[in-house]
């Protein structure tokens, strides 16, 4: 198993990427193909004492700027580490591709270089989130800001296959993100998608409100990319704000600082439970090869987990099953 990794994607690249990739080699026995500036990779590894065993380099001189127009990945940005990753994936120089770089450029690269699975209307970005009772996949989280009902039904089907194959959830419960639980709620898109999902053969549990997204009522939550993105980022924002407030509450006085020491183990456990890096990154579902978008702020552990996830994604036949299901049902 060889995973292609964009060495220069994300806020903490290349150091965190190299550290994470090196840890993945040791822990999971995978081989790695790092894409990026060869000299910079070697210098970074030396400087930080990162073992390069089982890691090859595919040289690409440039880095794709996350503020750049995503479509530039195809021409002007062809000499970036991100573009090189997609090319290597298509050439079968590796089994899967992981990057923490530009989401938009990854979508363009996956759609136009790797290409869609036959019958898939749009690839979608499915984020695996730590829910109250286990992982929940929210799909789409931003790849498609304008959707048709049949796209939402496909997102649900693809997400269900991923959760079943990779996270071993039998008959994943599928929900539809909506403004109310009753089947009469929402706009025309939701009303039509509700009907399609009801008739889809999926284990459809109906509409799910945003406040219950992570409450354990569903394993897959289908959404258009706009509201899925809002859900993902507002949850992130709320968690960040509370954690900041907790920290300031705990360091308020000598007394609270003493208290903080006593509750340390409990807080650690809580943080671990809500750790978004635990399940890796966001799989891009609907394209012909496994592509994982790691979070832009990924640390070494998040990169390592995204690589493990890419290996699981490859091993479990998700893509073949998406092809079969879409061909026969959608």
Assess contact for 155 and 222: CB atoms under 8 A: yes
Minimum gap (Å) between residue 208 Cβ and its own copies: 10
CA distance 82 to 65: 10
Minimum gap (Å) between residue 300 Cβ and its own copies: 23
User: Toward its own copies, which CB reaches closer, 51 or 258?
Assistant: 258
Q: Which residues bind its own copies (CB under 8 A)?
A: 67, 132, 142, 145-146, 177, 179, 182, 186-188, 190, 209-215, 225-227, 229-242, 245-246, 248-250, 252-253, 255-256, 258-263, 265-267, 269-270, 273-274
DSSP assignment of 67-80 equals TS-GGGGTTTTTTB
Structure tokens at 73: 């990945």
User: Toward its own copies, which CB reaches closer, 10 or 290?
Assistant: 10
Q: Is 56 left (phi over 0), alpha (psi -120 to 50) or beta?
A: beta
User: Toward its own copies, which CB reaches closer, 26 or 271?
Assistant: 271
φ, ψ for residue 15 (rounded to 5)?
-60, -55
Assess contact for 283 and 290: CB atoms under 8 A: yes
Minimum gap (Å) between residue 236 Cβ and its own copies: 5
Minimum gap (Å) between residue 138 Cβ and its own copies: 10
Minimum gap (Å) between residue 29 Cβ and its own copies: 34
Write out the E strands in 88-232.
96-99, 124-130, 135-139, 173-177, 203-208, 220-222
Query: What single-letter DSSP state applies at residue 177?
Result: E
User: Toward its own copies, which CB reaches closer, 91 or 272?
Assistant: 272
Minimum gap (Å) between residue 192 Cβ and its own copies: 13
**Residue 124, SS3?**
strand
User: Toward its own copies, which CB reaches closer, 41 or 125?
Assistant: 125
**Residue 130, SS3?**
strand
DSSP assignment of 18-77 equals HHHHHHHHHHH--EEEEEE-HHHHHHHHHHTT---TTEEEEE--B---TTS-GGGGTTTT
User: Toward its own copies, which CB reaches closer, 4 or 214?
Assistant: 214
**Residue 139, SS3?**
strand
User: Toward its own copies, which CB reaches closer, 33 or 143?
Assistant: 143
Minimum gap (Å) between residue 121 Cβ and its own copies: 16
Minimum gap (Å) between residue 202 Cβ and its own copies: 22
CA distance 96 to 49: 26
User: Toward its own copies, which CB reaches closer, 218 or 310?
Assistant: 218
């Amino acid at each position: 198993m060889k995973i292609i990794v964009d060495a220069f994607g994300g806020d903490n690249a290349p150091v965190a990427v190299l550290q994470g990739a090196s840890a993945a080699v040791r822990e999971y026995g995978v081989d790695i193909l790092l894409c990026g500036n060869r000299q910079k990779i070697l210098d970074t590894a030396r400087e930080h004492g990162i073992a390069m065993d089982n890691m090859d380099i595919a040289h690409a001189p440039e880095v794709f700027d996350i503020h750049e127009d995503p479509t530039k990945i195809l021409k002007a940005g062809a000499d970036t580490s991100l573009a090189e990753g997609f090319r290597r994936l298509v050439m079968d120089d590796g089994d899967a591709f992981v990057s923490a770089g530009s989401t938009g450029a990854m979508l363009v690269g996956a759609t136009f270089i790797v290409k869609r699975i036959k019958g898939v209307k749009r690839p979608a970005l499915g984020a695996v989130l730590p829910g109250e009772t286990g992982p929940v996949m929210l799909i789409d989280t931003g790849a498609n800001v304008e959707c048709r009902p049949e796209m939402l039904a496909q997102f649900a089907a693809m997400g269900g296959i991923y959760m079943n194959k990779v996270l071993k959830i039998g008959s994943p419960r599928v929900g539809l993100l909506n403004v109310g639980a009753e089947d009469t709620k929402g706009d025309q898109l939701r009303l039509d998608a509700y009907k399609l999902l009801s008739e889809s053969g999926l284990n459809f549990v109906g509409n799910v409100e945003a406040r219950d997204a992570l409450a354990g009522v569903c394993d897959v939550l289908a959404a258009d990319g706009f509201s899925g993105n809002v859900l993902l980022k507002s949850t992130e924002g709320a968690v960040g704000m509370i954690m900041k407030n907790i920290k300031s509450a705990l360091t308020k006085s000598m007394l609270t600082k003493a208290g903080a020491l006593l509750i340390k183990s409990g807080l650690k456990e809580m943080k671990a439970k809500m750790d978004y890096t635990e399940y890796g990154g966001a799989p891009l579902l609907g394209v012909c090869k496994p592509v994982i978008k790691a979070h832009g702020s990924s640390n070494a552990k998040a990169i390592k987990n995204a690589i493990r996830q890419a290996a699981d994604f490859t091993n479990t036949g998700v893509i073949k099953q998406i092809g079969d299901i879409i061909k026969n049902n959608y």
